[in-house]
Amino acid sequence: MSAISTICSIFKKHKSFLTSKELSNIIRERFKEVTIDSGMTNFPRVSTMQINGKLYYLRLYSLNNLLNASRYLWASYCLKKSKIMTPKIEQTCLTSIAEIKCYAVLENRLPGKEMASIKQNSIITGNFANDLRQWHNIPRVFYKNYKGIFAIHDKKHFGTRINRKALPNITLNEKQLELISQAKGLIHKPELYSHMSISHGDVNPHNLIIHKENTIAWVDMDMICLQPIWYDLAAAMCKIMIKNHPSDINVFEKAYFKNKPELYQEWKLLKNHWLFLYNVLEAVKWFATDRTKRLGSKQFSNNNPNLDSFKWGQKYFIQAEAILNLANQNLSSGEIISEMNYAVEDFKSLKRLPNNNEAYQERINA
């Protein structure tokens, strides 16, 4: 609580276009009709809001989730100093909706499109790499006083995540259990935790907004944490570069590791470990999280969010397996991305075959 009040006082300094009271009234008015259960699970966490003809994004945090809000405020305050673009926070307030107290952050809506919806080019890839580098170079002085608000993602954290149990209606096959057990073995390697740094924590193409001039703004910063830089790099490869022409990964690595040959050498040694671990962690997450509770309002292809998640989980296990199969081959990042893509495509095409097909049976029995 003390961290958030310190950060809030930073925001009191600049004058807002709405008073806290005005904002609070607008929010109450807008959410009058919403049914809210105590966990705020049916509550729209992020929503657009129009005020005087202008669009904003409104983020709501339940009071037991104030740490996320403080991370967000910290990010907005410090990232600008590090030349990383984020939406400007216009106003914050405490309010209550249907007797539930919450903290609201109103931010500017950024112009531009999600990275996920645009055809990428090497200029954007280069800018993305430079930004990620900036993230990982955020000076310690910016966060040492606020350390309490950042989760530290170390060996213990990843250990807990890998041990999560799948949902009761999901049975993992032997291959998948084997991949998890391999990942458990990896987690203890101390060299995996070199270069702890502040990181975005949720690098994916939906959280990057691209402006006309190909510059990038970062949104969705509730997951900011202290963790090895390798995690964001693995996420960048598995969630962003994988959709590009694999040759763009060279542009990415060149920009990220510019003037840092030793760091690049370290990445070459750790890359396969981290990519494997990242994919298994993602798979476990999809199999363990009950999405029916969290994403009530979102649309799913078969009305069953868990079934949709299950497909994503499978995809990450297949990517992990592809990396494991590379064993100790010294492949370039582009080649690794191709292998991951190939394995997923291969699996998808097998699924389109009839079940009695020989190739299908072989693959399933493998």
Ligand X SMILES: Nc1ncnc2c1ncn2[C@@H]1O[C@H](COP(=O)(O)OP(=O)(O)O)[C@@H](O)[C@H]1O
Q: Is 109 a residue that touches ligand X (CB under 6 A)? A: yes
Q: Is 232 a residue that touches ligand X (CB under 6 A)? A: no
**Can you tell me the distance from the alpha carbon of 270 to that of 268, in angstroms, rounded to the nearest whole number?**
6
Return the sign of the alpha-carbon dihedral for residues 232, 127, 344, 298. Answer: positive
> What mask of x and - would describe binding to ligand X in positions 81 to 100, judged by CB under 6 A?
------x-------------
Q: Determine how many CB atoms are found less than 10 A away from the CB of residue 123.
A: 12
* Residues near 123 by beta carbon (within 8 Å), at least 6 away in sequence: 214
Q: Which of 104, 219, 322, 343 binds ligand X (CB under 6 A)?
A: 219
Question: What's the token pair of residue 177?
Answer: 């259990």
Q: Is 295 a residue that touches ligand X (CB under 6 A)? A: no
Cβ-based burial of 1 (10 A; exposed 0-12, middle 13-18, buried ≥19): exposed
Nearer to Mg ion, 220 or 321 (CB): 220
Report in angstroms how near the CB of residue 201 gets to ligand X at its nearest.
12
Report in angstroms how near the CB of residue 47 gets to ligand X at its nearest.
9
- How would DSSP label each residue in 252-268? HHHHHTTT-HHHHHHHH
The residue among 88, 56, 54 whose CA lies nearest residue 72 is 88
Report in angstroms how near the CB of residue 150 gets to Mg ion at its nearest.
18
Selection from ligand X, Mg ion, none that 87 binds (CB < 5 to 8 A by kind) is ligand X
Nearer to Mg ion, 147 or 206 (CB): 206
DSSP H/E element including 218: strand 216-218
Report in angstroms how near the CB of residue 158 gets to ligand X at its nearest.
22
Selection from ligand X, Mg ion, none that 107 binds (CB < 5 to 8 A by kind) is ligand X
Report in angstroms how near the CB of residue 210 gets to ligand X at its nearest.
10
Task: Give me the residues that bind ligand X (CB under 6 A), please.
Answer: 46, 57, 87, 107-110, 114, 206-207, 209, 219-220
